[in-house]
Amino acid sequence: MTAYLDGALSPRDTERFEEHLAPCDGCSAYLEQMRATIAATGALRAGDLPPVLEEGLLEAFRDWKRT
Amino acid sequence: MRSVAASGERSVVDALRAGDEAAFARLVRDLGPSMLRVARRYVETPAVAEEVVQEAWIAVLDGIDRFEARSSLKTWIFTILTNIAKTRAVRDGRTVPFSSIGAEAGEGPSVAPDRFLGKDARFAGHWAAPPERWEGADRLLARETLAVIDREIAKLPPAQAIVITMRDVEGFDAEDVCNALDISETNQRVLLHRARSAVRQALEDYLR
């Protein structure tokens, strides 16, 4: 399934995968859940750095610039 | 467009070389949270992970003049990060993620076997308890749901957590992850599959 989602299956295997999936409600729902899982995981991205770390990095940048 | 690094990468590199602090700050905010998440899985404490991230950025700055764009900027930065994290883990006497991929891929199926009909059933191997469609994209992206995902990733074996963070949180493609972590495509896929399956299961339990 992960190979399918990555587009890494051969055309023949892709076809066989989709042939199985089409009539199977369970597997179709599972694939849909996997896609939703991937999308939701991507939403984690908008995190923040601890302010102290961010400030430290900017400080390091200024030091680096001076050298 | 997923990130500052992907859009106009060349201009980001030029800005860094020119000492443009605003460009650096944008890049740090863009990549920093995922770097911290990845570093955390190599080392003992959040404080050490922060040190690793800081050290990585200094190495990035020191090396930016030599960056030749053979990989993307983002992949190059994460390669530096994971190398520094690895060195630190070794120095602290910790087991380094990816040092024994087989064990870290984890055993067992991605979906519990009792979700399928047994071999004596008429439709053996078919779903006994099929997954249901999840309604409402809003709920899936709600803060509480994201916290469920975050906690589940934190519980994964380190190699799985690192791969899912790079692939699905940060949006790297498979090849970049293999390059940055120096693992095979097959290993990458197995680890990602395990990780995604665990997160999917956690979401299914939560959304039920």
User: Which residues in chain B are contacts of A50 at CB distance < 8 A?
Assistant: 50
**Mean pLDDT throughout B15-41?**
93
Q: Does B12 touch chain A (CB under 8 A)?
A: no
HEC sequence for chain A: CHHHHCCCCCHHHHHHHHHHHCCCHHHHHHHHHHHHHHHHHHHHHCCCCCHHHHHHHHHHHHHHHHC
pLDDT of residue B2: 47
Q: How many CB pairs under 8 A join A and B?
A: 122
C-alpha–C-alpha distance, residues B82 and B94, integer Å = 14
pLDDT of residue B1: 41
Comparison of pLDDT for B26 and A66, the residue scoring more: B26
User: Which residues in chain A are contacts of B141 at CB distance < 8 A?
Assistant: 40, 43
Phi-psi region of B16 (alpha: psi -120 to 50; beta: other; left: phi over 0): alpha
C-alpha–C-alpha distance, residues B163 and A65, integer Å = 33
pTM of the model: 0.86
User: Would you place residue B7 in the very low, low, confident or very high pLDDT band (cuts 50, 70, 90)?
Assistant: low
Q: What are the pLDDT digits (tens) for B159-201?
A: 999 999 999 998 899 999 999 999 999 999 999 999 999 999 9
Q: What are the pLDDT digits (tens) for B41-95?
A: 999 899 999 999 999 999 999 999 999 878 889 999 999 999 999 999 999 988 8
One DSSP character per residue, B59-96 reads: HHHHHGGG---SS-HHHHHHHHHHHHHHHHHHHTTPPP
